[in-house]
Amino acid sequence: VSPNDEGYARQVSVLVVTDERFLDHRPGRRHPERPARLEAVWSGLKSAGLEDALVCREPRPAADEDLLRCHPSAHLAALVEIDAAGGGLVDADTVMSPGSWSAARLAAGAGLVAVAALQAGEADVAFCAVRPPGHHATPSRAMGFCLVNNLAVTAASLAEAGERVAIVDIDAHHGNGTQDVFYDDPRVLFVS
């Protein structure tokens, strides 16, 4: 609850962008980045009794144009090739399954959907519950369970539109990929 213009309390509207298709990314039963992580988020929202207080939206797949703001075409082509082969090991700890590329495109598009909804006044804040994660993916390399840099795709879109962008990454691990994407870009402040 937060004050409105008259000083009276009002309920804050929270947008959640998520989708069951994120469960199609299956790097392996014993892999740390598994579908159960997202299922736990959904379960937590439900058990907290928040379902009715949330505005839910489905993501859209990020277009090539969106992804190319952060990743060269060679990186995207390599991921498409692994996907066409039915998945496989991308690096020592990053795995693609048959549904991973579609899930990664949805994850990268989720932030774009959230921003559009916020700009349209549909909610006050947004939370994107997505997978695979993205902050370790550098412009030209998938790593750390991350295929493309979801957050960077959204931030680059905002920066291109002239918005001021600040990213505060509070993950236990440094967001090396996001740092690499914006290291020389004065339009985006990145703190990790």
User: Which positions are catalytic?
Assistant: 136
Q: Which among 83, 174, 87, 183 has a CA at the least distance from the CA of 136?
A: 174
Chain-centroid distance of CA 7 in Å reads 35
Within 33-179, strands assigned E span: 54-57, 88-91, 94-96, 125-128, 165-168
**Quick one: residue 59, left, alpha or beta (phi over 0 = left, psi -120 to 50 = alpha)?**
beta
Question: Looking at the DSSP assignment, which residues form a beta bridge with residue 61?
Answer: none
